[in-house]
Amino acid sequence: MAQRGNPKVRFLLTLLIVLVVGGVSWAFFLSSSNKPAPSPTTPQQPDPRAATPPERPAPTPTPSQSPAREEVVATPAPDAPPSGHPAALDGLRARNTGAMEPQTLGLLDAQAPIRQALTIDPLGVGVGSLKLGRYFTTIKNEANVEVQRTHREGAYALTPFSALGVQVEGVIVNLLSASVWSPVPGAPSGTFEAIVENASGEAVLRIVRSFRLTPDSYEIELAQTVQNLTDRELNIRWFQYGPVDLENDSAGGSSKVSKARDMRRLRFGYLLKAQSDPSQRIVFANAFLWFRPKVLGKAEKATGLFPDVATVWPNPVSLDAEFTLAWAGMSNRYFSVVTHGLVGDAPNPASFSWVDRIDRVVLHRYIEEKGQPVYAPVIGVKLDSKPIAVAPGAAADLSMGIYAGPMEKDAITADPRAAAAGVQEIVVYNAGGPCAFCTFPVLTDALVWLLEIVHRATADWAIAIIILVIIVRTVLHPVNRWSQVRMQRFAKQMQDIAPKQKKLQERYANDKQKLQQETGKLWREEGINPAGMLGCLPMLMQTPIWIALYATLYYAFELRQQPAFYGIFQSLTGGGWAFLADLAEPDHAIWFAGKGIHIWFLSDFMGPITGLNILPLAWGAVFWVHQKYLTPPTTGTMTPEQEQQQKIIKVMSVVMLPVFMYNAPSGLLVYFLTNSVLAIVENHWIREHVKKHDLLNPEKYRKKKQGPGFMQRLQMLAEQKQAQQQSKGAKGSQGFNPGARGPQRPPRR
């Protein structure tokens, strides 16, 4: 009967497994590991929003460059010519047309062809609210998902896609106002204009902005032109906001910047330089996976606030690689808002041609938690155009496309404009951090493809996850079996020679070199291969596959608000039980009312406790059984150190891992439970296979070997080469003798 393995080896293996699983869980739910972005080096352009900030319930922010109150002013740029402007450009300002009422385009109807409801804010005719008619925040379908909205803090506002201003011959005219825009008579709803005039009231520029919703698509076209109404060529630059922060839709997520479970990112799509991609149609996005802490950068020590403005494009990486901007977007776990150029048919490049620079801006917002104001800034992006020369009577086209919808490749590629701009590249199954390298697109895309195929056959995502885990473990079973057999064999051999090795250690305690020689000799005599110590490497090499599967299930939009096991728990209770009603959320066996329970320290990285979740507790129990099975009680007496090690393992497996994963999506817990149960079954089968074939018997193993192993063959080749060199040296030392006879052959028998 095979003996049990070395308890130290079993402990190290068990501890390694626990640390890997715990570390992966921690890394995926702690996005604060991202380092702050470096300070921008690009010179800042004059900001048309400059204003003095009001008093705040926290340190006073630096003046200027904060999202400003409504003003209509003309600000001279630093690079303006020293001499005066021609009379036609003196006193440039936006014409005051009076207050404008908000307008709403589209509707919130899941069956309607228009999939969004867009409310236009009069402040710079930006997006006051953008909601999706087919998606809701929870399974209760009480509120639609809002992907963009105006954020306000006192007298300040950050309005997505609002017009900020236009620079005319070195003078910036502020357009961030509700009294300079008016609907265009006779034009479709959502079309507005503003007039830039001189001190005499003569029109200099006519600016038209029009929002157009697309049926059966999440694409919005923002058509905007700047027309030159003078009789001379004008040099202009355009400034506007882009997308702003989406809500944190991670399960149990916190609104605080420094807290975990925040999967919101700033992303860029880009084109390679023309030498690498002559077509300029292939969009990449893998170089920029920036979480909010990286985008915000470092807070100022004096105020504790983040800088108002920081340039994020171009950045050192894009400049060194000569990337060309294709799109810029902000995303959370399941939704994204991306602004891109309107790409025509080939061979037109997929670049965002008129954008010269993108700045990250901050609205210094405060929220109340436990009666105290908490700093929770809102991030937005500002787009600056390149200098554009506009001929008399001509118009500069500054139009853009806006994708605002789910992070699902099929939904994005269904729209030709979004697909042509490469917006689908924003979909990645990668949570960044130390495990980012494991989730390369080829692997995650293959897992998503396989998961979708299984789902088509089963029509249930939970069952598809279980089958997917079975498939993956089946494919990896030969590697697991090979690895475990060799680890068990090595542990058995080391246990058998332990008495002899101990005698050698006592005999050569003062001669380490001799001890190494004698130990190597003992290993050779007992047939122990040092490569057996590497038996755990194949299992570690599988880690990227399981991490990729983890990321795939966490970010797969297809699992959002999908019930498990055909919604049987909801069917039995008439929809009253939320248990496993949403695979993207905790299982909620008992769903607490309100905002949940905040537990000191724990809620800082796992979010508030919104319900009683039983899947993580069940997984902890199964994992404890798994570890107990891997580390059975030894027949001998355990030392106090070994007993302490066993206690540490039990605490880590039974307490720490369920705590790490308590607020994890139930789809992930289905994966973990299935994987742990299959691991127990697989390990049991491998142990029985080892016993049945007596694979731990060194004598039988040596008899089965048909030839030397890899390491032995290398040693034999080295010895042969050394012998040949010695033979050549001996022959050369005899000198040249033309009369000498060559080597004699032995007589034939």
pLDDT tens digit string along 426-460? 999 887 766 666 677 788 888 899 999 999 999 99
C-alpha to C-alpha distance for 412 and 408, rounded to whole angstroms: 6
C-alpha to C-alpha distance for 287 and 281, rounded to whole angstroms: 17
Q: Inform me whether the pLDDT recorded for 364 exceeds 70.
A: yes
- Provide DSSP, 651-667: HIIIIIHHHHTTTS-HH
Q: Which of these ranges, 21-35, 120-134, 542-556, has the smallest mean pLDDT?
A: 21-35
C-alpha to C-alpha distance for 650 and 99, rounded to whole angstroms: 68
pLDDT at residue 2 in the model:
41
What does the H/E/C string look like for 698-735?
Answer: HHHHHHHCCCCCHHHHHHHHHHHHHHHHHHHHHHHHCC
Q: Inform me whether the pLDDT recorded for 126 exceeds 90.
A: yes
pLDDT at residue 400 in the model:
96
Band (pLDDT 50/70/90 cuts) for residue 388 is: very high
Band (pLDDT 50/70/90 cuts) for residue 636 is: very low
pLDDT tens digit string along 646-659? 777 677 767 787 88
Band (pLDDT 50/70/90 cuts) for residue 395 is: very high
Q: Which of these ranges, 9-23, 342-356, 506-520, has the smallest mean pLDDT?
A: 9-23
Enumerate the H helices of 251-306 as residue ranges. Answer: 292-296
Phi first, then psi: give them for residue 344, nearest 5 degrees.
-90, -165
Band (pLDDT 50/70/90 cuts) for residue 624 is: confident
Burial 378-398 (b: 16+ CB within 10 A, else e): bbbbbbbbeebebeeeebbeb
- pTM, to two decimals: 0.78
Asked whether 122 and 181 are in contact (CB, 8 A), the reply is yes
Amino acid found at 421: A
- Work out the average pLDDT over 633-660: 68
- What are the structural domain ranges in the chain? 7-27+446-701, 68-250+261-430
pLDDT tens digit string along 153-194? 988 999 999 999 999 999 999 999 989 999 999 999 999 999
pLDDT tens digit string along 309-326? 999 999 999 999 999 999
- Work out the average pLDDT over 622-635: 67
Band (pLDDT 50/70/90 cuts) for residue 691 is: confident
Q: Inform me whether the pLDDT recorded for 66 exceeds 50.
A: no
149 to 247, 306, 673: CA distances (angstroms): 10, 21, 39
pLDDT at residue 693 in the model:
78
Who wins on pLDDT, 43 or 556? 556
Band (pLDDT 50/70/90 cuts) for residue 87 is: low
Q: Inform me whether the pLDDT recorded for 10 exceeds 80.
A: no
- Work out the average pLDDT over 93-119: 92
pLDDT above 70: percentage of residues in the chain: 74
- Give whichever of 32-36, 299-303, 545-549 has the largest mean pLDDT: 299-303
Q: Which of these ranges, 179-188, 381-390, 626-635, 719-728, has the smallest mean pLDDT?
A: 626-635
Q: Inform me whether the pLDDT recorded for 674 exceeds 50.
A: yes
Q: Inform me whether the pLDDT recorded for 52 exceeds 50.
A: no
Tell me the two tokens of residue 265. Answer: 């990112």
**Over the chain, what is the mean pLDDT?**
80
What does the H/E/C string look like for 292-358?
Answer: HHHHHCCCCCCCCCCCCEEEEECCHHHHHHCCEEEEEEEECCCEEEEEECCCCCCCCCCCCCCEEEE
Question: Could you confirm whether domain 68-250+261-430 is CATH 3.30.43.10?
Answer: no
Q: Which of these ranges, 33-47, 90-104, 154-168, 362-376, has the smallest mean pLDDT?
A: 33-47
Band (pLDDT 50/70/90 cuts) for residue 371 is: confident
Band (pLDDT 50/70/90 cuts) for residue 597 is: confident
pLDDT tens digit string along 476-533? 888 888 887 877 777 777 887 888 888 888 888 888 888 888 888 888 877 776 665 5
Q: What is the DSSP letter of 59?
A: S
Burial class, 41, CB count within 10 angstroms (exposed 0-12 / middle 13-18 / buried 19+): exposed
- Work out the average pLDDT over 330-355: 89
- Work out the average pLDDT over 696-716: 59
Residues 6+ apart with CB under 8 A from 712: none
pLDDT at residue 222 in the model:
96
pLDDT at residue 712 in the model:
59
How many other CB atoms are found less than 10 A from the CB of residue 559?
A: 27
Distance of CA 158 to the CA centre of its chain: 26
pLDDT at residue 195 in the model:
95
Asked whether 385 and 289 are in contact (CB, 8 A), the reply is no
Residues 6+ apart with CB under 8 A from 618: 673
pLDDT at residue 367 in the model:
86
Helices 461-496 and 543-555, packing angle to 10 deg: 160
